[in-house]
Chain A
């Protein structure tokens, strides 16, 4: 049996709500017959009232737009599920799914064997290696249009710098690249730069977004 001294010590946890259900029930049972604890609990009414007045911090916004990594994942996961249900989708959703690469990315995102977060100033993205490591996808949200004679190019640093290709704008507004194989194998850093249209042989633009592979 819990000794009464322990129960008296639970006053603060009780008023704070830090007791689990069983402990709280036990304490309330004790409280009914303990004037000392009743007085103690009453002294905490102003404290709890003050705590309730405490404003919560502002949470970061959650928006279904291309600048937020959560919606990005949410959209990809929704799209992956949409693939499975494609025959029964509404027209608007089918329109969202027109881009083949986005469908591929969605599928890969749902079953990936490796993902690397890519971050830049106001830009977020992800490198995704498919479940069987037969494909690698790069998807970036928040990039402005590169311009008529420019492309965003992906670079892999694995001791030397190589490029699997340039991103292209998907129908959904994401910049996407899907290539064969696991191009992240041995990679230390993934970087995206703005290069001449079609891509450069050597990285010449400044890094716009990058991520470090931990695999």
Chain B
């Protein structure tokens, strides 16, 4: 008789040893253990890559669920070995869709100007008072458009080409945002480090 185990789960320990691609193959067989392991590996990173766009925790949680639900429903399409960028793209698009439906105008990824407004430049003194060498404060101090591309790449694993396609801006713009954002981040951290 066929064992129910073949139908339900691999063990947690076994799932931890498998690659994303292997887990994806198991999900195609409707294996919930493999699904849980992929969730454990990637959900927090997807949250990190999309949290600023979402703005509030409820929406962030919702779009994470949407992305993983899509993965469960269609595990055979174009994720292959790049599951995290795929999840981020789905979650990001879901967030944009929901924000648009709410008619909120908080889409700086697409709409904000690339020129850095001097009035919005980070105030190093405030950052230093906030926390020593605090990367979070430094990221928050970046213009939104620069922070977004850095977070999409670092947490979401998206390439600059992926990001350009996702947020529908020219590749050169994404490159510029990454370059300026990283340079600014370096300056902020160096400044804090020197004066702390």
Contact = CB atoms under 8 A, between A and B. Distances in A.
A90 B178 contact: no
Given A57-B51, A59-B46, A60-B64, A13 B1 contact: no
Contact of B163 (A18, A58, A60, A77): A18
Interface in B62-79: 64-65, 68-69, 72-73
* Majority DSSP secondary structure for residues of A touching B: helix
A59 B185 CA distance: 26
B182 A82 contact: no
A71 B35 CA distance: 10
Contacts of B175: 9-10, 13
Interface centre among A11, A51, A73 (most CB of B within 10 A): A51
Contacts of B45: 56
Contacts of B2: 85, 88-90
Nearest to B183: A12
Interface residues of B, number: 55
Contact of A43 (B5, B40, B133, B186): B186
Contacts of B139: 54
Contact of B135 (A50, A64, A81): A50
Contacts of B133: 50
A73 B69 contact: yes
A71 B61 CA distance: 15
Given A50-B189, A78-B32, A88-B1, A56 B47 contact: yes
Contacts of A70: 65, 68-69, 72
Contacts of A78: 7-8, 30, 32
Interface of A: 9-13, 15-20, 23, 43-44, 46-47, 50-51, 53-54, 56-60, 62, 64, 68-71, 73-74, 77-78, 81-82, 85, 88-93
> When A and B form their complex, which 10 residue pairs have the shortest distance between CB atoms, in order from nearest?
A90-B4, A59-B43, A12-B182, A88-B2, A56-B44, A50-B135, A60-B61, A18-B153, A59-B44, A18-B160
Interface of B: 1-5, 7-8, 30, 32, 35-36, 39-40, 43-48, 51, 60-61, 64-65, 68-69, 72-73, 133, 135-136, 138-139, 149-150, 153-155, 157-161, 163, 175, 178-179, 181-183, 185-186, 189-190, 193
